[in-house]
Structure 1
Amino acid sequence: MDENNIGTVNHIDINQEMRSSYLDYAMSVIVARALPDARDGLKPVHRRILYAMWDMGIRASSPHRKSARIVGEVLGKYHPHSDTAVYDAMVRMAQYFSMRYMLVDGQGNFGSVDGDSAAAMRYTEARLARIAHELLEDIDKNTVDFTPNFDDSLVEPDLLPARLPNLLLNGATGIAVGMATNIPPHNLTELCEAIAFLIERYDDIDNVTLDELMNLVKGPDFSTGGLIIGNEGIRSAYATGRGRVVMRAKAEIEPLPRNPDRQRINITEIPFQVNKAMLIERMAELVNKGVITDISDLRDESDKRGISIIVELKRNTQPLKVLNQLYKHTALQTTFGVQMLALVDKQPRLLSLKRALQIHIEHRIEVITRRTQFDLDKALKRQHILAGLLIALGHLDDVIETIRRSPDADTARAQLMERFGLSEAQATAILDMQLRRLAALERQKIEDEHRDVTAHIEYLEGILADKKKILGLILEDINEIKEKYGDERASEILPGMDADINMEDLIPDEDVLISITRRGFIKRTPVAAYRKQARGGKGLIGMGRRDEDQLEHLFAAGSLNTILFFSDRGKVYADKAYNIPELDRTAKGTSLMNVLPLMPEENITAALPVHSFEDAEYLTMITLKGRIKRVEVNVFENVRPSGLIAINLDDDDRLSWVKLTAGEQDLIIVSEQGKGIRFSEEDVRPMGRNAAGVNAIRLDSWDRVAGADVVLPDDDLLVITEKGYGKRTPLAEYRQQNRYGQGVRAMVLAPERTGKIVSARVVVPGDEVTCISANGIILRTATDVISQQGRSTQGVRVMELREGDTIASVAVIREGRLSQVNGDEEAEELVESEAATAQNGAAPSVTVGDASG
């Protein structure tokens, strides 16, 4: 410390200091602890363990050494952290149920699939596994960079040469600061075939498709085997780096040996990273609580031959039903959330399958280039020495005379260099040459070695000059590794198995409430969860911030209903209501991105529960630009997981309203500039799924649709403007017209006073309306108190707004929709509770029951 600065107080910005310190800490955790390097697939602790064992000479062919000795070596030289952390990392590399291809050969108790811990390090022994040599081979040939260790007393490798694609081979799991990685293991044979394919297409590698790679790499291959259900999650993971892989135990249904009239389930393989003992405890708990009633006995018959969990069934029990119940309620079926995050140039990057394989190939190109250069430098040095020896042998008498006349070795060396044009290294080699090398046979050996070294130099220089030769060497390595260590898949992929098992048999048909927020969070909550809720007030005031979340859709459905989700891009997605995550009424919800395969910037604008696709009903779609399309509901009975095109849209158009219609109803459409048109839906012929629809209303270029609804006889049209004006107009005042007319005046607008129309909805007596302003102010009132006026009026002020504030969204809460399942007062509580659940108390922008935009 500088003595002149003692006692000096430095003023710092605490915010800046906390930010920079936290970022330094975060990057330290990310780079030096939690995430693997994409090139060798290892975290620093695993790399240090393997290198220390290699450096100690503890190879696959050597005897096992005490684990405590290995851990001490790692701690003392490379990894100054907890001995427990080092030992745990080494133990994991020796567990068959953790690593698809074990890197450490352990001897002793290294834990079990039941969650038992390994014995203390003083009791166990270890050595490198044979396959681990492939990670370390050629490390002594300057193939990788070395850096000083923690106290600058030694050096350690930055990474390993890694002939194996270890990142994908054994996978990795780690939690850093603000990010995590979860890479599944894969089959070595499949990875080798994919790498060989990429090498053969290296000049055209940009055009290699994911489908071509997935023909070779079928999917993850877990060490515990089991089944992988479906391939959509695998495809997503390989394309984007993120995906959800559903794992399921492998089970066999067989008769009881002592009683063939009864059956049992024999579970022989369980999902990856599932604790077998806790799994059996969970099964027993379900039986004791009466959740599963058809199990008579449960025991673990696992041994050294493999896993065997026996589930004996009662007489006349359907085994598949019980198995489905076990899949639903236990970890016999679980999800592996793929997050292929690894360090690329010391930066965390999300990797696709293709990019991960490319990085391995690029790493091997660099390793082989450096190895070849190392061998070339060594060969050139040897060639130089041999050339000097050949000069000496050619002038043997003169060389001997020169050495004899020299008073000492240094003088002799100088004389040789001067007289024969030798380098210092050559002169030294001549002085060190033994007399036996003067024999004719030994002289011939020197000439033969010089010729061989020269040929080897030409070979090495040829490799460095031609990248295809380097790729050829990588291909040879990959094929050799495949032959030496390749095996069959442990996990079986069944793309269609999810369709073979009817999970709906296990789902109770109950009324649920489904909510979607503007920021894209969705949840399912049983309606019964609200029955004991205390009543709140009729209004909420938000935090007054524009970035708050708001409830966008709120509707009741049956748990077995199919929910059709329509996006503003004109796509439709489908999912069963019971597949939507069930959360507490106070929970925010889960991201729609986890439920639906939405594209970036794609938003759900309508959601409809469908009880049966056999009903002769239609879906009518209306866009912002006034296009309309009518499609039979059953067209969307089989929506693929990636979604379907529901309507073809122009680039500047958006799908905003989707209504269920019966085939003979009238529709009413209102524009922002006050035009309204009513026509029969029969004017719009049913179309195919890919059609773009027809024009519904003739709009000016600056106008667009503000609202659309199905006409209900003897009811009113509620119109709300952006500056808080509104009115109810009897629908009888809107005569039926032909489609694609200009319509009639729906409201007299004054830009300064009323602004444009933001919402138009059909309302019935008893409905309520909730208006939310851009500043988060919420007004909830009965529609009956809004005066009923004719079409050619401006309406009345519905909501007082502060200067500069405008109406952002309008929700109509229809009495009788939710009250059918929960009663009038409780239906009101549902909406208030869901509004309060939105972030910071923001209110809903919802359509209850109808659920369309």
Structure 2
Amino acid sequence: MARMSDRSVEQGTIREEDFAVLLARAFATYGLSVVTDRALPDARDGLKPVQRRILTGMHEAGYRSDRPTVKSAEVVGLILGNYHPHGDASVYEAAVRLAQPFTMRYPLIEGQGNMGSEDGDAPAAYRYTEMRLSPLAEALMADLECETVPLHPTYKQDPKVLEPDYLPGRLPPVINPSSGIAVGLATNIPPHNLAEVLRACIALLDQPEMSVEQLMSIIQGPDFPQGGRVIGLDGIRDYFTTGKGRIVIRAEVRLEETPRSRSLVIVQIPPVGRDRVKVSIAEAINAGRVEGLLPDVRDESDAEKGTRIVLDLRKDADPARVLTQLYQETDLQVSLSFQMVFLFGEPMQPARQPRQVGMLELLNYWNAHQVDVLTRRAQFQLRKARERLHVLEGLIIGAANAQEIVRLFQQAEDRAEARRAIEERYKLTAAQSEVIAGMTLSQVTRLDAQKYAREREELLTRVAELEHLLSDRRALVTLLKKEMQQLIRRFGDARRTVIDAQARVDEPVREVLPLYERTPLTLVLTRAATVKTLPPGAYGSRSTERYGPVRGDEQLRQILAGYSQDAVLCVASSGRVFQLPAFRLPQATRSARGEPLARLLALNPDEEPVALFTLEAHEEDRYLVTFSRQGKVKKSPLSEYRTVDEEGLQDMKLAEGDAVAVALVVRAGGEYLVSSESGQTLRFADESLRVQGRAGQGVMAMTLAAGSRLVSACYLGQPQELPAEEARQSEQADSVAASTAALLVLSEQGYAKRVPVEDLPLRGRATAGVSSLTLVPGDHLLTTLLVQPTDQLLFIWRPEGASKGEQTLVLYAQEIPLLGRTGAAQRLVEGRLLAAVLLPRTLDS
């Protein structure tokens, strides 16, 4: 065996090497492969090879943003078969990551199906999900077909399957995060705001040597998909300067207060995942490192609301102190280290040189790459334009000699001979004659010389523009700036992460901001028992036509003015009372129907909302007064309702067959005007109504005729007791100064009049009152409203026969006749009156 080995050595078939040298060389080859072909992104497009192969393969296969999604299994199979000779899991995981909006600041793939979650849930298998390129990915690969980047065969060694060494990369390489561990190198690149980075690149084209401070005035810092708040500027300045730095980022936490509880609500988290945040909070509470919180950590996050993790505070807890502990003891505050390591290379060469770079050096390099891409695109377009111009000149000659060319075709034995004859006769080049020879005889006879001449003039202009662009760098840079501005307009969005330059990590939290700022709003309750909020003044100055069909925004029952921090009290027909914060009501437009109140409150199917009230506070000197259809009334202090919530509590105890008809929020000392459907109205003093607890049967308010029922009640406040805050509630409390008030009386058949309040005598409670409206047979009193002459009202009615559907009528109160109590009412509409709503004059005031 030894002699055979010696002969083999002599014959050169066996080579002896030192194992240590061989291992070092092999490991160096392996390390270089990991660095250049796997772990580090290219500084020109910000992508790793597997990401670039996925996007290129989807682009070539036509899986574009304007086409339907395809099964992820099809994408994985395509990339494995043509581009990436590795496992299917590695390809699918990389593609899913490009589609996750909580991982990528700007996703490059649009995914459909379960693509994983922020809570650490794994994506569904690739046979279930679908995907396609996002518009951003298409922008990243724009001009790929214009020979702007080098292409090489893939491992498949098919001349038709090529992959780029890098992409044109029309988007900066730092808008999305990237991390990787190579041999002896690691990278961790934070995401940034696209609009900020592009504006910085535009500025660097004019001033490449700007300072880091100037750059930080344009790019504020990292911008994570989850938001959060970066504390201080030192870490940002470090990695902008050297490519390496460390920042501290906190969650955004707000204080939410309801009548029964106070909670800290986490609305944005650091880029560590909701599951890790929740586990760290639970561990800190259980270990006693955080005091003042109830042990329940409720995750109410969803796709619509985003992150919402609720931590309930104990009654005596200080929110600021608790939040300080949470930042110190949990992952609501984390430190992140960045190391911006990219691969660099010469134009039209693969990137092979890893280097840690600061933001200025990186963006200047990317700008130079973009200038190179535009230059090569212009060269490609110029060559194609000249080639087409050359062909057009031949077509123009062909159009001028079409009949002779047809004759040459007919005389020739084949097309090759015809082509040679055309070349010789008209001195055409091979390219020109080839185009004409490839036409049918009918196409030759239809050659349009004028059309080709116009196209030739356009191409000559285009050629001149491209030649100027290639000869003048300033023109090229101007074009680059213009295209960057277009990308900002198309894809730019608002910053999500707040950069708090003044904050310090070691300072305690001094104040927890409310979850919702105290902003004015308009609350609308519809006849279909839906509710919505609108901006203030939505109904302040109406431009509604005097007559018109009922639209979605005119299914009105009640309009309230309020603030987002108010409590909304709801009284139901069953006598139950509910309450929820105003900020939980859905925001909508005037044309939207809103959300059913039954989804927000625990209303039973047989319950209807009677009235809503917006309350800034549950004051001791204000009262909830409820009237039942059988003529009962109950008056209870608002302070009794502080702890009521969405589940509701029984308030007024009703007899069998009875229901709440009217509810008012009042101050003590005024008067009530209560009306029955038979047209009787009773005016009695508030002082005759004793105060009861929350749960009570009430007392008799009005004696009703047989078969009649109470349908309306208004509160007549005392002028001296109408401060500014009471004026805000005037619409919902029907509180009007007696000196200028009139009672608007409306019947179901459309009769109406205004009755001066002084015409209605003050009587004792539990009496029948006096007649305020004489009714025709079959008619009933619909409702009453206390109005001023300048008040505007919206009436909803159905014409006789109902062929036209429901209609609206808008009037000022002064347009309705002011008559005595015994005066005959006038008919407003020829049909059935369904509702009347007092439109506020200035809700935003």
Range class of TM-score, shorter chain? 0.5 to 0.7
- 1:214 is aligned to 216
- Could you say which residue in structure 1 is the equivalent of 2:317? 317
SS at match of 1:174: strand
Match of 1:138 in 2: 143
* 1:436/1:442 contact within 8 Å kept: no
Cα distance in 1 for residues equivalent to 2:60 and 2:409:
43
1:745 matched to which residue of 2? Answer: none
Counterparts of 2:337 and 2:61 in 1: how far apart (Å)?
38
Q: Is residue 475 of structure 2 the alignment partner of residue 469 of structure 1?
A: yes
1:175-195 Cα offsets, whole Å, 9 max, x none, are 111111111000111112111
Aligned to 1:343: 343
Task: Specify the alignment match of 1:332 in structure 2.
Answer: 332
State the TM-score, normalized to the length of structure 2: 0.56
CA distance in 2, matches of 1:137, 1:393: 37
Change in Cα spacing, 1:254 to 1:415, as seen in structure 2 (3 Å) is: closer
1:85 aligns with 2:84: no
In structure 2, relative to structure 1, the CA distance for the partners of 1:368 and 1:5 (3 Å cut) is farther
Q: Deviations over 1:191-224 (max 9, x none)?
A: 121112122x1xx52x322222111101000000
Separation of aligned partners in 1, 2:442 and 2:456? 18
Cα distance in 2 for residues equivalent to 1:4 and 1:13: 15
Letter in 2 for 1:251: V
Hey, what's the Cα distance between the residues in 2 that align with 1:56 and 1:31? 26
Query: In structure 1, how many angstroms separate the alpha carbons of the residues matched to 2:245 and 2:506?
Result: 22
How far 1:321 sits from its partner (Å)? 2.2
Residue 60 (1) aligns with residue 65 (2): yes
Q: Is the 2:226–2:269 contact (alpha carbons within 8 Å) kept by the matching residues of 1?
A: yes
Judged with a 3 Å threshold, the aligned counterparts in structure 2 of structure 1 residues 292 and 398 are, in CA distance, closer, same or farther, namely closer
Identity %: 40
Q: How does 1:495-514 map to 2 (within 5 A)?
A: 495-498=501-504, 501-502=507-508
Preserved CA contact (<8 Å) 2:266 2:307: yes
Match of 1:170, SS?
coil
Cα deviation for residue 486 of structure 1 reads 0.8
SS in 2 for 1:342: strand
Deviation of the 1:399 alpha carbon: 4.1
For 1:309, give the aligned amino acid: I
Provide the rounded CA distance (Å) in 2 between the counterparts of 1:116 and 1:132: 25
Distance 2:50 2:364 in 1: 25
Letter in 1 for 2:147: N
2:374 to 349, 362, 368: 368
| Separation in structure 2 between the aligned mates of residue 497 and residue 477 of structure 1, nearest angstrom | 37
TM-score (norm 1): 0.56
Q: How does 1:543-582 map to 2 (within 5 A)?
A: none
Listed one character per residue, the Cα deviations across residues 314-335 of structure 1 (whole Å, up to 9, x for unaligned) are: 2322222222222122111111
Cα distance, 1:430 vs structure 2: 2.5
| Residue in structure 2 matched with residue 28 of structure 1 by the alignment | 33
Distance in 2 separating the partners of 1:179 and 1:285: 34
Distance in 2 of aligned mates of 1:58 and 1:124: 14
| Residue 186 of structure 1, aligned match among 185, 192, 212 | 192
Q: Does the CA-based 8 Å contact 1:104-1:127 persist in structure 2?
A: yes
SS in structure 2 at match of 1:93:
helix
Alignment partner for residue 50 of structure 1, among 47, 50, 55?
55
Cα distance in 2, alignment partners of residues 415 and 277 from structure 1: 78
Show CA shifts across 1:463-482 (max 9, x none). Answer: 11112222122112111111
What does residue 283 of structure 2 align with?
A: 285
Aligned to 1:302: 301
Report the Cα distance in structure 2 between the residues aligned to 1:381 and 1:222, rounded to whole angstroms. Answer: 48
1:251 aligns with 2:253: yes
Q: Partner of 2:242 in structure 1?
A: 240
* Partner SS for 2:462: helix
Indicate the residue corresponding to 2:267 in structure 1: 268
Cα displacement (A) at 1:69: 0.8
Q: Is the 8 A contact 2:422 2:433 kept in 1?
A: yes
How far apart are 1:380 and its partner, in Å?
1.3
- Helix, strand or coil: the match of 1:480? helix
- Counterparts of 1:620-635 in structure 2, within 5 Å, are none
CA contact (8 A) 2:149 2:165 kept: yes
Give the 3-state SS of the residue equivalent to 2:111 in structure 1. strand
Partner of 1:16: 21
Structure 2 contact 398–447 (Cα < 8 Å) conserved: no
CA deviations 1:72-125 (Å, max 9, x no partner) are 111111011111111111111111110101111111111111111001111111
- Structure 1 segment 639-788 matched on structure 2, within 5 A: none
Paired with 2:426 and 2:479, the residues of 1 have a C-alpha distance of 41
Name the CA distance, whole Å, in 1 between partners of 2:10 and 2:439: 64
Q: 2:396 aligns with which of 373, 390, 393?
A: 390
Give the letter aligned to residue 300 of structure 1. D
- Per-residue Cα deviation, 1:158-185 (whole angstroms, up to 9, x for no partner): 11112111x2110211111111111100
Match of 2:230 among 228, 231, 236: 228
AA aligned to 1:64 is T
Return closer, same or farther for 1:499/1:176 CA change in 2, 3 Å cut-off. Answer: closer
Structure label with greater radius of gyration: 2
| Gap regions ≥5 residues in structure 2 | 1-6, 346-351, 511-845
Conserved 8 A contact 2:406-2:441: no
- Aligned pair count reads 494
Paired residue secondary structure (2:41): coil
CA shift at 1:400, angstroms? 4.7
Provide the secondary structure at the position in 2 that maps to 1:33: helix
Check conservation: 1:437, 1:443, Cα contact below 8 A: no
Q: State the AA in 1 paired with 2:203.
A: F
Q: Alpha-carbon deviations, 1:564-598, whole Å to 9, x = none?
A: xxxxxxxxxxxxxxxxxxxxxxxxxxxxxxxxxxx
Q: Aligned AA for 1:124?
A: T
Aligned partner of residue 160 in structure 1, secondary structure: coil
Secondary structure class of the residue paired with 1:244: strand
Matched residue type, 1:281? V
Measured after TM superposition, the shift of residue 256 of structure 1 is 4.9
Report the secondary structure of 1:312's partner residue: strand
* Residue equivalent to 2:694: none
Contact 1:41 1:171 survives alignment (8 Å): no
Please say if 1:162 is aligned against 2:169: yes
Match of 1:308, as an amino acid? R
Stretch deviating more after TM superposition (446-455 or 8-17): 8-17
Maintained 8 Å contact 1:93/1:102: yes
How far has the Cα of 1:14 moved from its partner? 2.3
Q: 2:493 aligns with which of 483, 487, 490?
A: 487
Equivalent residue, structure 2, for 1:114: 119
Q: Is residue 246–residue 336 contact of structure 2 (8 Å, CA) maintained in 1?
A: yes
Retained in 2: the 8 A contact 1:35–1:341? yes
- 1:281-308 superposed Cα distances (whole Å, 9 cap, x missing partner): 2222222222223222332222221111
Please give the secondary structure, in 2, of the residue aligned with 1:30. helix
Contact preservation (8 Å) 1:144, 1:158: yes
Q: Which runs of 5+ in 1 are unaligned?
A: 505-853
Q: C-alpha deviations, 1:304-360, integer Å up to 9, x for none?
A: 211111222223222222222221221111112111110001211112111221122
- Given residue 327 of structure 2, which amino acid in structure 1 is its aligned partner? Y
Provide the secondary structure at the position in 2 that maps to 1:169: coil
Aligned partner of 1:340: which letter?
M
Superposition deviation, residue 155 in structure 1: 1.4
Which of 494-503 and 129-138 deviates more?
494-503
Q: Say what the alpha-carbon RMSD is for the aligned residues.
A: 2.3
Shift of 1:397: 5.6
How far is 1:411 from its partner? 2.6
Between the aligned partners of 2:224 and 2:273, the Cα distance in structure 1 is 14
Question: Residue 446 of structure 1 is aligned with which of 424, 432, 452?
Answer: 452
Q: Which amino acid aligns with 1:26?
A: G
Q: 1:419 to 1:7 in 2, by over 3 A?
A: closer
Give the one of 415, 420, 423 matched to 2:421. 415
Compute the displacement of 1:243 (Å). Answer: 0.6
Describe the shift of the 1:87–1:396 C-alpha distance in structure 2 as closer, same or farther (beyond 3 A).
Answer: closer
Partners of 1:163 and 1:477 within 8 A in 2: no
